[in-house]
């Protein structure tokens, strides 16, 4: 905002006083390489030379400039104020303009806990010498894509946290293999400590450890404090994830993305024991925080292949970072999808209106195995805890540099950064995922392809009703529903063929899930079959008889 400005209607040019600006604490650089105006709060404006005059750009730099201590506290996932101030000296792209410590109610709501005395174990002396692991779950509600469990690996030396999401406990060995592959560029894992859960004592899990010559240690039964490092890491991650979801007003089904973002942030927060971030201790390079933003911020993503009169951007909600490409994760409540987007514009406010189904807000959002460690013997560093709020940032479209060119500076605004940094973060933060076809109505309507599954189900129900396959009647008295278990049927299908064959006995079935209807007086109804239905043993015979009669009649008619 300009002060002491004069408006002259007859003069159509804007004149800016350099002298008045310097008196108010600003500085101006007119070097050959850099021409800019820097305000006292750290905001910078570019300048262009045209002829013998300099022109001031009215748009400030898109990176995070100077923010208050409280704003950085929210950007860094509600990390404690002391660590935020220390972090300014060990990272790039961070500038604190106001050091006032404002009491944060989100931290009080999201992270209040009991404090216990702890005596740490002897620490490892190199990355991956000693790794702690633990499985959290099942977590209510089920996350997007059907994830119920989260598996974490914590490096004892650096404190780096690697998180993988699973649909069932039996996926733990595959996640272990993924972790070993991700960690391989940074060293060899020598020792792993876990609890005595069946997922860690299974033959397959231990076979992988033996093949890689890794010693497996387990804690004593009912002694979570013996694996306190990873237990404390879980507490920090879910405290931060809870704060992120609370402030962003997002559904709890997004917890996987909140935990992923929490791990990303924790790995870049100051570690008092190391005097640096876990990321730097593990990879050897300093993290760049200039492109970080408030989790849950409203943003606009560029729409690819838009038509002439279509909008050029789509509103969404920022929910995390992509490690293998210069992009962000953007959640669209209307379609319940999360997409990777390269060109994004961010806004200050994250207090958007939630457009999610209220039913999705139910659930405790607590993993069954997360607990506060007692008499912790192996505790991760006293890093601060965490959440988010935002700063305005514009991300311009990226053009990848060719081999013969020097990398433009604007590429530093993106998440991936250097090649070594990209490989490191892939191993550090990227999440292990498995994708299966839904096996029930509930999984289908909560999957990422919900619209496609609903259309397919609607088409199937329409085909059943169009062929009058059943009619809705009250359930018969004295009869129980038949259930077929462990029966495999191999059959060849003509589309909706069975639905045309009449049935020769009375059969009653429950209405399809999601398409239930009641009687006029509200009584429960079931389906009384009028025609054959897929799955009935006599359907094939009924269809064969019908087809046989039809063919014989047609054959005889043509012969006659």
Helix, coil or strand: residue 314: strand
Assigned token pair, 393? 């940032």
Q: Cα–Cα distance between 480 and 482 in angstroms, integer? A: 6
**Residue closest to 77 by CA, chosen among 269, 256, 223:** 269
The values of phi and psi at residue 548, to 5°, are -65, -45
**Which DSSP category does 169 fall into?**
G
**Distance of alpha carbon 215 from alpha carbon 160, whole angstroms:** 20
Long-range pairs for 517-522: beta carbons < 8 A, 24 or more residues apart? 517/472, 519/472, 519/474
Quote the CA–CA distance of 338 and 450 in Å, as a whole number. Answer: 13
* Among 72, 76, 121, 131, residue whose Cα is nearest residue 282: 131
Residues 143 and 429: their CA atoms lie apart, in Å, by 18
Residue 493: what pLDDT?
56
Q: Distances from the Cα of 333 to the Cαs of 60, 195, 412, 497, in angstroms?
A: 31, 38, 30, 39
**402 Cβ contact partners less than 8 Å away, ≥ 6 residues apart:** none
Please check whether residue 388 is in contact with residue 75, taking contact to mean a CB–CB distance below 8 angstroms.
yes
Q: Quick check: helix, strand or coil at residue 313? A: strand
Question: pLDDT per position in the chain (560 positions), as tens?
Answer: 566 677 777 776 777 777 777 777 777 777 766 667 777 666 677 777 777 777 776 655 545 556 778 888 888 888 888 888 888 778 877 777 777 778 888 888 888 775 555 566 678 888 888 888 888 878 888 887 788 898 889 888 888 888 888 888 888 888 888 888 888 888 888 888 888 888 888 888 888 888 888 888 887 777 777 778 888 888 888 888 888 888 888 888 888 888 888 888 888 888 888 888 988 888 888 888 877 888 888 888 777 776 777 667 777 888 888 766 677 888 888 887 887 787 777 775 555 554 444 344 444 444 444 333 333 333 233 333 333 333 333 343 444 444 555 554 444 443 333 333 444 444 444 444 445 678 788 888 888 888 888 888 888 888 888 888 888 888 887 665 555 545 555 555 566 778 888 888 888 888 888 888 888 888 889 988 888 887 888 888 888 888 888 888 876 665 55
Cis? peptide before 142, omega within 30° of 0: no
Q: What span, in angstroms and rounded, lies between the C-alpha atoms of 471 and 469?
A: 7
For 483, the token pair is 């259930």
Please provide the DSSP assignment of 127-158 as one string.
TTSSEEEEEE--BSSPPGGG--EEEEEEETTT
For residue 37, what are its two tokens? 């105006």
In the prediction, which pLDDT does 395 show?
40
Distance of alpha carbon 422 from alpha carbon 404, whole angstroms: 21
The answer to whether the CB of 158 falls within 8 A of the CB of 281 is yes
H helix intervals, 147-277: 172-183, 198-201, 203-211, 228-248, 255-266
Largest CA distance in the chain: 111
Cis peptide before 111 (omega within 30 of 0): no
Query: Which secondary structure element, helix H or strand E, spans residue 84, and what is its range?
Result: helix 81-87
Cβ distance 327 to 397 under 8 Å? no
194 neighbors 228 (Cβ within 8 angstroms) = no
Distance CA 258, CA 113 (A): 20
Euclidean distance between CA atoms 296 and 353, whole angstroms: 11
Phi, psi at residue 269, to the nearest 5°?
-95, 155
* Element holding 74 (H helix, E strand): helix 69-75
């Amino acid at each position: 905002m300009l002060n002491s400005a004069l408006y002259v209607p007859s003069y159509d040019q804007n004149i800016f006083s350099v002298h008045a600006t310097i008196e108010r604490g600003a500085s101006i650089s007119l070097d050959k390489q850099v021409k800019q105006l820097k305000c006292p709060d750290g905001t910078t404006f570019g300048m262009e030379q045209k002829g013998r005059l300099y022109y001031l750009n009215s748009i400030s730099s898109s990176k995070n400039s100077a923010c208050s201590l409280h704003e950085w506290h929210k950007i860094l996932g509600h990390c404690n104020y002391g660590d935020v101030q220390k972090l300014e000296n060990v990272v790039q792209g961070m500038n604190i303009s106001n050091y006032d410590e404002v009491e944060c109610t989100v931290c009080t709501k999201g992270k209040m806990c009991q404090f216990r005395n702890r005596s740490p174990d002897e620490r490892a002396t190199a990355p991956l010498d000693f790794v702690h692991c633990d499985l959290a779950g099942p977590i209510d509600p089920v996350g997007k894509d059907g994830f119920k469990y989260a598996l974490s690996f914590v490096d004892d030396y650096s404190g780096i946290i690697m998180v993988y999401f699973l649909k069932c406990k039996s996926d733990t060995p595959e996640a272990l293999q993924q972790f070993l592959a991700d960690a391989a560029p940074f060293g060899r894992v020598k020792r792993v400590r876990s609890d005595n859960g069946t997922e860690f004592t299974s033959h397959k899990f231990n076979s992988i450890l033996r093949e890689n010559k890794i010693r497996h240690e387990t804690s004593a039964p009912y002694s979570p404090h013996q694996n306190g490092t990873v237990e404390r890491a879980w507490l920090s991650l879910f405290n931060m994830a809870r704060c992120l979801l609370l402030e962003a007003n997002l559904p709890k089904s997004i917890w996987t993305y909140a935990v992923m973002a929490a791990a990303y942030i924790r790995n870049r927060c100051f570690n008092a024991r190391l005097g640096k971030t876990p990321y730097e201790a593990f990879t050897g390079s300093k993290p760049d925080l200039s492109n970080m933003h408030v989790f849950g911020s409203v943003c606009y993503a560029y729409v690819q292949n838009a038509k002439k009169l279509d909008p050029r951007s789509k509103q969404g909600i920022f929910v995390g970072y992509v490690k293998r490409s210069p992009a962000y994760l953007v959640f669209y409540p209307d379609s319940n999808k999360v997409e990777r987007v390269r060109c994004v514009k961010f806004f200050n406010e994250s207090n958007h209106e939630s457009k999610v189904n209220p039913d999705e807000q139910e659930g405790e959002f607590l993993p069954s195995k997360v607990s506060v460690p007692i008499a912790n013997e192996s505790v991760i560093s006293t890093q601060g805890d965490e959440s988010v709020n935002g700063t305005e940032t514009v991300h311009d479209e990226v053009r990848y540099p060719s081999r013969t060119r020097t990398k433009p500076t604007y590429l530093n605004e993106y998440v991936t950064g250097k090649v070594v940094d990209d490989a490191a973060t892939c191993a550090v933060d990227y999440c292990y995922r498995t994708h299966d076809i839904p096996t029930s109505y509930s999984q289908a309507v909560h999957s990422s392809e919900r619209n496609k599954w609903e259309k397919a189900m609607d088409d199937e129900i329409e085909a059943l009703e169009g062929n009058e396959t059943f009619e809705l009647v009250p359930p018969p008295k004295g009869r129980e529903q038949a259930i077929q278990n462990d029966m495999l049927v191999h059959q060849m299908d003509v589309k909706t063929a069975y639905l045309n064959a009449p049935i020769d006995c009375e059969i009653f079935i429950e209405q399809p899930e999601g398409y239930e209807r009641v009687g006029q007086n509200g009584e429960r109804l079931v389906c009384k079959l009028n025609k054959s239905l897929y799955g009935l043993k006599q359907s094939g015979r009924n269809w064969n008889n019908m087809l046989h009669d039809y063919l014989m009649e047609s054959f005889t008619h043509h012969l006659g």
